[in-house]
């Protein structure tokens, strides 16, 4: 049989191993929390950057007309704002919405939404093929 001293020594080892395991689990939980908070702080809608505007059309005559009247304006899309000509418009929320097979960048201000169709990671479009405004990322 085992002596009391041996059992006591074994229980001290088990207790210290349990404490070590508990410390490792706590460290793991805290590192997961820190990673999630860091990830969420860095999360945006993915379309932050500087864009050039252009007007266009699938109809040649309208395309040349739209191109002649539209200026090359630069604007910046931020995490919660659009800045153009020195003026910043803040939005309550900017996010990406999936609708059918298309994606849209949604700008929410005072409960009202504006939707820009996402053509690709560098291009947004508002309007139709007949007449539209495109934002093309330049940075």
Tens-place pLDDT, residues 1-45:
555 555 555 555 555 555 555 656 555 555 555 554 444 444 578
pLDDT over 90, % of the chain: 38
Alpha helices in the chain (DSSP H): 4-42, 60-69
Structure tokens at 119: 């053509």
Domain boundaries, the chain: 1-43, 49-137
pLDDT tens-digit map of 58-89: 666 555 555 555 556 889 999 999 998 899 99
Burial letters 118-128, b for 16+ CB under 10 A, else e: beeeeebbeee
Highest mean pLDDT among 37-46, 48-57, 76-85, 129-138: 76-85
Residue pair 58/51 in contact by the 8 Å Cβ criterion: no
Residue 106 and residue 124 in contact, taking contact as beta carbons nearer than 8 Å: no
Mean pLDDT of 84-95: 92
- Please identify, in words, the CATH class of the domain defined by 49-137: mainly beta
Two structure tokens written together for 38: 């860091």
Predicted local confidence at residue 67, as pLDDT? 52
Query: If pLDDT is split at 50, 70 and 90, which confidence band does 133 have?
Result: confident
């Amino acid at each position: 049989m085992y002596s009391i001293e041996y059992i006591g020594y074994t229980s001290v080892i088990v207790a210290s191993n349990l404490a070590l395991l508990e410390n490792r689990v706590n460290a793991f939980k805290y590192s997961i929390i820190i990673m999630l908070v860091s990830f969420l702080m860095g999360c945006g809608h993915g379309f932050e950057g500087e864009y050039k505007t252009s007007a266009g059309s699938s109809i040649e005559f309208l395309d040349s007309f739209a191109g002649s009247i539209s200026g090359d304006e630069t604007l910046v899309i931020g995490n919660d704002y659009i800045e153009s000509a020195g003026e910043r418009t803040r939005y309550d929320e900017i996010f990406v919405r999936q609708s059918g097979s298309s994606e849209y960048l949604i700008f929410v201000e005072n409960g009202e939404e504006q939707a820009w169709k996402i053509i690709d990671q560098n291009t947004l479009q508002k309007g139709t093929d007949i007449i539209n405004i495109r934002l093309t990322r330049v940075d």
